[in-house]
Amino acid sequence: MDADILPRNIKIDWLRFQVVTYDSLFFRKIRDIIGLPFEKQQVSSVKDARETNVMAANKVWHEAWEFQGSLLCIKYPPTGIDEPFTFLIDLNGSTLDGLDFDRVSNLLYLSQLDTSFTAHRIDIALDFPVQSPRLFARPWESLVEDGLLFGYKKVRRISNIGSDDGNTVYIGSRESSRCLRIYQKLFPGGGDFDRLEAEFKRDRALWIMKELAQIPVKEFPRFLNGVVCGQVSFTRNHANILFFRKYKYGSINVPTPTLHLDIEKSIKFFEKHAPTLAMIYEFMGAEKFDKFIESNLQSGKRKMGARHRVLLSNAKALGFTFGVGLATFLLISGQAPAIAGGLTCPAPVPLSFELQQKFPIDIVNPTASEQAYLNNIGDGCFQINSGLNFDKICLPGMIVNALRPFIIIGLGVRFIFSD
């Protein structure tokens, strides 16, 4: 490490994921790996575990085991039905202080072995020796306002008036799959540090946990440091960013989540909880239930974030033509055969193109308004649910790989779907 680079302590400060498995011994295995005295939470009922309910992490579980605020939760399959167990592992910073990287590695490896694994959250913290001015006292708001800090649009600061103690800077949105926190970290045994902490969720958390399950334990410090350092990037050279050179080294890129232009997941989630809605309806009655739904809809509209609005905008633009176009195509032609090799995009075809035309398919040039829409979505390829799986849509002019081609006709643009 360069002599000018600050030393740092590196740790995982939160780990939350879910596992669905038929292995009835999985709970015992993870408890043996963690090796900490988790205790079963008491419930009022003494019936079979499948008939008791424990609320933990905003969900209902049959059992919950707790240690210093961390939770291990179990949901059993219905009696006599061949369905898997569901487990939640939710470990906070104080619990993870008692786990070395070797046990974390074994835990993540076991949890991703022949199971359905869902990553929820991982926090990674770097603790630096105090510098002057302190890391949280730097003008992060100005860096964002001046467009110097790449990838973030919002900064929020919480501080005690007249004192630097307790300052916390929040960069990015907690609702997104990535945000940063910068604050003072005091340890009980003494020691004052500046902490840079990155919180990852969903796709980003999944990528990090998959990597941690595969890399050697000795690589954990390098990897975790690089992941956090990679979240602070600047758009151009400027005197106001020179201070960060002593904090950053060995950056590792965490892939940006793919934008799914798919509202079907939300609809399926709603359908999955139809029995719960039916129960509430039976309890409230029609009139009160209608008011209940309307009240929650209005509240939801106010809470919709940028991600919800992008998904909605794209679903409105593509949803109708996709549903009609794909259904018509499948009715006429059946499933298209796989095409070996790559396809190129040669000269545009006329807008009178018909479904009967055989593959490979040309792509027409978009109009100005269509290109503006595509630019708004982002660069390169994005994904959409083709009805069979998630397939890529590439912008016009790109070379694409087409294994299962489908057609959308509506925006005046022909896309090629590919794996």
Task: Give the closest residue to 36 by CA, choosing from 119, 100, 121, 105.
Answer: 100
pLDDT digits (tens, 9 = 90+) for 388-411: 555 555 544 443 333 333 334 333
**Is residue 148 within 8 Å of residue 235, measured between CB atoms?**
yes
pLDDT digits (tens, 9 = 90+) for 5-41: 999 999 999 999 999 999 989 999 999 999 999 999 8
The residue ranking higher by pLDDT, 258 or 131, is 131
What is d(CA 79, CA 222) in angstroms, rounded to the nearest whole number?
Answer: 46
Rounded to the nearest integer, the mean pLDDT of the chain is 77
Q: Residue 273 carries which side chain, given as an amino acid letter?
A: H
Q: Report the range out of 138-147, 164-173, 298-307, 362-371 with the highest average pLDDT.
A: 138-147
Q: For residue 391, what pLDDT is reported?
A: 56
| DSSP codes joined into one string, 261-272 | ---HHHHHHHHH
Q: Which of 261-265, 276-280, 336-340, 358-362 has the lowest mean pLDDT?
A: 336-340
The residue ranking higher by pLDDT, 266 or 145, is 145
Q: pTM for the full model?
A: 0.64
Q: For residue 60, what pLDDT is reported?
A: 80
Question: With the CA atoms of 34, 35, 38 and 39 taken in that order, what torsion angle do they form, in degrees rounded to the nearest 10?
Answer: 140
Give the DSSP H or E segment for 101.
helix 101-111
Judged against a pLDDT cut of 90, whether residue 318 lies above it is answered with no
The residue ranking higher by pLDDT, 220 or 406, is 220
The residue ranking higher by pLDDT, 299 or 163, is 299
Name residues whose C-beta falls within 8 Å of residue 290's C-beta, 6 or more positions apart in sequence.
none
Judged against a pLDDT cut of 80, whether residue 369 lies above it is answered with no
Judged against a pLDDT cut of 70, whether residue 270 lies above it is answered with yes
The residue ranking higher by pLDDT, 74 or 380, is 74
Task: Give the closest residue to 33 by CA, choosing from 117, 91, 116.
Answer: 91
pLDDT digits (tens, 9 = 90+) for 178-204: 999 999 998 887 789 999 999 999 999
- Residue 332: band (very low, low, confident or very high) from pLDDT cuts 50, 70, 90: very low
pLDDT above 90 covers what percent of the chain?
50
Boundaries of every domain in the chain: 9-246, 264-307, 311-418
Judged against a pLDDT cut of 80, whether residue 132 lies above it is answered with yes
What is d(CA 64, CA 177) in angstroms, rounded to the nearest whole number?
Answer: 27
Q: Which of 23-27, 296-300, 349-353 has the lowest mean pLDDT?
A: 349-353
Task: Give the closest residue to 74 by CA, choosing from 118, 26, 33, 15.
Answer: 26
Q: For residue 365, what pLDDT is reported?
A: 58
Judged against a pLDDT cut of 70, whether residue 229 lies above it is answered with yes
**Which pairing describes strands 168-171 and 70-75: parallel, antiparallel, or unpaired?**
unpaired
| DSSP codes joined into one string, 251-313 | --PPPPPP-B---HHHHHHHHHTHHHHHHHHHHH-HHHHHHHHHHHHHHHHHH--HHHHHHHH
Q: For residue 405, what pLDDT is reported?
A: 39
pLDDT digits (tens, 9 = 90+) for 102-129: 999 999 999 999 779 999 999 999 999 9
Tokens 């396809």, residue located: 343
- Residue 137: band (very low, low, confident or very high) from pLDDT cuts 50, 70, 90: very high
The residue ranking higher by pLDDT, 325 or 204, is 204
What is d(CA 48, CA 79) in angstroms, rounded to the nearest whole number?
Answer: 10
Q: For residue 383, what pLDDT is reported?
A: 55
Q: For residue 268, what pLDDT is reported?
A: 72
**Mean pLDDT of the 238-244 span:** 93
350-356 own/partner pairs: CB under 8 Å, 24+ apart:
351/412, 353/409, 353/414, 355/328, 355/329, 355/407, 356/332
